[in-house]
Amino acid sequence: MTPLPLFRLLQSQGFGSRKACREQVLAGRVTVDGRPCLDPDAAFSGPGRLLGVDGQTWVWRDKAYLMLHKPAGYECSRQTRHHPSVFSLLPLPLVNRSIQPVGRLDQDSTGLLLLSDDGAFVHHYTSPRRHVAKTYRVTCKHPIDDGLAGRLLAGVQLHDDPVPVAALACQRLDEHRLELVIAEGRYHQVKRMVAAAGNRVEALHRYRVGNLDLPAELGPGQWRWLEKADLDALAGGG
């Protein structure tokens, strides 16, 4: 990568406008690889560079890929209606990078949510043609009868689709819980499928996309970067 002025490196990472980034450097708020730098025009290459702003260190990344453990009560939108946005759970530089969710979870659903500012990445993992598997744990209101999984696997009719929609996999976990795998990401799809099969979703948790699992140590509301191993696992499942 061609070296860039420090203020432009900061701008690319979401730290503000060109003017704001220059002012941060001149004010002594920025370090490069742990060393203070007061020259906003000093040139540095980006990959692997450690940028410190107000004591917080960021690794320069050309594109942002991250996962969030979405809690209930948050909307996957910047323009929310009734609940806070998932973007309020992320640091401001990430929000400024115009990241967007890779698919969505309803406000009352929880679990693995991917986000990125890479449009090709977002399109790849949201396109129905890619058949990327999403795995959910579904808590049903009524006891699960012996035929519910079979109906979901065979395909159920949704009101807005002339073709029955089928689960890729489905198994009963206990009296009220299912594990359900789908490849699409239509509006309220899991809830509508379960309703069409004769039950009702009380809670919905997505814990896997492709072959990428939500880490047990990542608590609700927490986020982390997707590293190479995560992206490989994701690609291996779609």
As a dihedral over the C-alpha atoms of residue 123, residue 127, residue 129, residue 133, rounded to 10 degrees, the angle is: 110
Catalytic residue, chosen from 54, 62, 106, 117, is 106
Tokens 């420090």 locate to 6
**Rounded Cα–Cα distance for residues 95 and 117 (Å):** 10
**Rounded Cα–Cα distance for residues 122 and 17 (Å):** 25
Q: What are phi and psi of 177, to 5 degrees?
A: -125, 140
**Rounded Cα–Cα distance for residues 160 and 52 (Å):** 50
Tokens read off for 150:
């079979």
Catalytic residue status for 213: no
Residue 128: exposed, middle, or buried by beta-carbon count in 10 A (0-12, 13-18, 19+)? exposed
**Rounded Cα–Cα distance for residues 99 and 65 (Å):** 9
DSSP 8-state symbol, 118:
-
List residues with catalytic annotation.
106
